[in-house]
Amino acid sequence: MDWNRRPTSPLAPHELIPVAQPKKRPAQKRSWEQLPENAVRRYRLPENLYGKICAIATLNNISNVSHVAIQLVDYALYQHYQGNPEFQLSTRPNPQGRKFLLAWKAEQSNWNPPQNKLAPDFERGKQKRKEKVLPGEYGGKIKDVGLRLSTTRLRLKDLADETYLPISDTLTFLLLKAVIAYENGLFSLELKQIPA
Amino acid sequence: MKCPKICFVNQKGGVGKTTSTITVADELARRGKRTLVVDFDPQGQCAVALNIPPQPGVFKLLISGSAPADCINETGRPNLAMITGDRSTATAQIVLAAENRPFDTIRQALKPLENQFDYILFDTAPSVGGIQERAVWAANLIVIPVATDYLAVDSLGKTLDMLTALSKQGWQGKLAGILPTMYDHVTNESRKAYSYLEKNYPETLFTPIRRATILRDCIADGLTIWQKAAPGPVADDYRALVDQLMKLSRS
């Protein structure tokens, strides 16, 4: 079978037929978008947790997921600093990294920490990059999510620094606990008109 | 785009139109989108694949003048409904051609359903004869599944010619892309076909769907890949396709 015998069209389909293009993201030119505290930051969140937050946004007719995330994190931070035991982060050292790891309750009892290798690995070639997976409840897929957490981000960062945890792990914990509280009806979201 | 209508079309048979239609439709339904599949194929295999009996839904819609809502069959899956086709669809095609009905017959017939559904998907027959062109005319987005073999790639040009002709006559839809199916990286033929498509249609090529027996098993069991083999490599391929289609339908 000779593929070279196939005639090649002088014109590509997009020159003859209208081709659908994905909608382009609008340029971030609004003044509030350009403020440093409103910049989009990327966080590594479990995919199903992010899905739950999106679902909460959809249910409450909120088009911006970041607004929901801010409310959830604010609630969780408030509970944390009020001393609610459900919202206290427990950590454990990570022998493979500088920062600590989040210790979920389920695995605190029989946790077997990974050990550092005594001898260096002499395998040649490209090393496989280890996928960082949060332990405990969330062993699922991790997704890079862009959120504008505004000033809440600074408070989140403070807590992450206090507990010596990566900021994404801290955010995951707070969002998860807040989502559970939301699902249990401990708090609800209310839409308010922003005064012009 | 309000209620995007996506048409899977290729004049060649056995390229994965029906499989792709029901797989995409079921995934959209699983994502909470109210989805309707309209089977314009006289073989009525969309219904068979979803384990429901083929009925003359398309005939009733286009020829008998029944209300569209009366032609819809439930599939037993949440958010997924179907207007089934059967042998009578071939009769509908003859009547449409004989009466020289306008090109927008299908579009007008489905208009009352646009508020009821988030997505409408068309599965078409591997032929030319009136109903396929009218289905394309009614669609906003066109997906051309092409098996990665010589004859399927050969027929692609003819389908593109049809779209070009319709475009010249004022068709408002757009080509979403060419979907390479049954891609088998082990065989030379598959690789050559894919590189041919990559070379000639780089702007409009979707991520290929790999060849997998599990897809045929699913059809035999009246299940979709999401029920039988997800997560899995083929399910991942189709999930990528659904993501791309959802992005395009928002444009």
Instruction: Report the alpha-carbon distance of residue B63 to residue B58 in Å, rounded.
Output: 8
pLDDT, position A8: 61
Instruction: State the Cα–Cα distance between residues B143 and B180, nearest whole angstrom.
Output: 10
pLDDT at A7: 59
A76 assigned to some structural domain: yes
Question: In chain A, which residues have their Cβ closer than 8 Å to the Cβ of B193?
Answer: 3
Chain A residues closer than 8 Å to B167 by CB: 16-18
Task: Say if A128 falls within a structural domain.
Answer: no
- For B17-33, what is the mean pLDDT? 92
- Which DSSP state fits B218? H
How many domains does one find in chain A?
A: 1
User: B55 CA to chain A: closest CA distance, Å?
Assistant: 33
Among candidates B142, B128, B53, which has minimal Cα distance to B96? Answer: B128
User: Is A8 within a domain?
Assistant: no
- Check pLDDT > 80 for residue B236: yes
Residue A156 is assigned to a structural domain of this protein: yes
Which two tokens mark B148? 């990665």
**Does some domain include residue A7?**
no
Provide the residue range defining the domain that includes B158: 5-177
For residue B157, the chain A residues in CB contact (below 8 A) are 7, 9
Residue B99 in this model has a pLDDT that exceeds 80:
yes
Host domain of residue A176: 36-105+140-190
B248 within some domain: no
Is residue B6 a contact partner of residue B122, using CB atoms and an 8 Å limit? yes
User: Rounded to an integer, what is the distance from CA B199 to the centroid of its chain?
Assistant: 25
* Interface touch B176/A14, C-beta < 8 Å: no
User: Is B221 a domain residue?
Assistant: no
What pLDDT was estimated at residue A63?
Answer: 82
- Per-residue pLDDT tens, chain A, 196 aa: give them: 566 666 566 566 667 788 888 877 777 778 878 888 888 899 988 888 898 999 999 888 888 899 999 999 999 999 999 999 889 988 877 777 778 888 766 554 454 544 455 445 555 555 555 545 454 445 567 888 999 998 999 999 999 999 998 899 899 999 999 999 999 998 888 887 766 5
Closest by Cα among B64, B68, B93, B105 to B83:
B68
Cβ contact, residue pair A3, B150, below 8 Å: yes
A54 in a domain, yes or no?
A: yes
pLDDT above 60: residue B43: yes
Rounded to whole angstroms, the Cα distance separating B93 from B130 reads 6
A22/chain B closest Cα distance in angstroms? 5
Q: Determine, yes or no, domain membership for B102.
A: yes
The answer, yes or no, to whether residue B7 has pLDDT greater than 80, is yes
- Is B164 within a domain? yes
pLDDT digits (tens, 9 = 90+) for B126-180: 877 788 889 999 999 999 999 998 888 888 888 888 888 888 888 889 999 999 9
The mean predicted confidence, pLDDT, of chain B is 89
DSSP string for B23-45 = HHHHHHHHTT--EEEEE--TT-H
Is B246 within a domain? no
Q: Which CATH number goes with the domain that contains B165? A: 3.40.50.300
Q: Is residue B137 part of a domain?
A: yes
Given a cut of 90, whether residue B241 has pLDDT beyond it is yes
* Predicted complex ipTM: 0.76
Q: How many domains does chain B have?
A: 1
What the block records as the tokens of B45 is 């295999």
Q: Does residue B231 have a cis peptide bond before it, meaning omega lies within 30 degrees of 0?
A: yes
Question: How confident is the model at residue A137, as a pLDDT?
Answer: 47
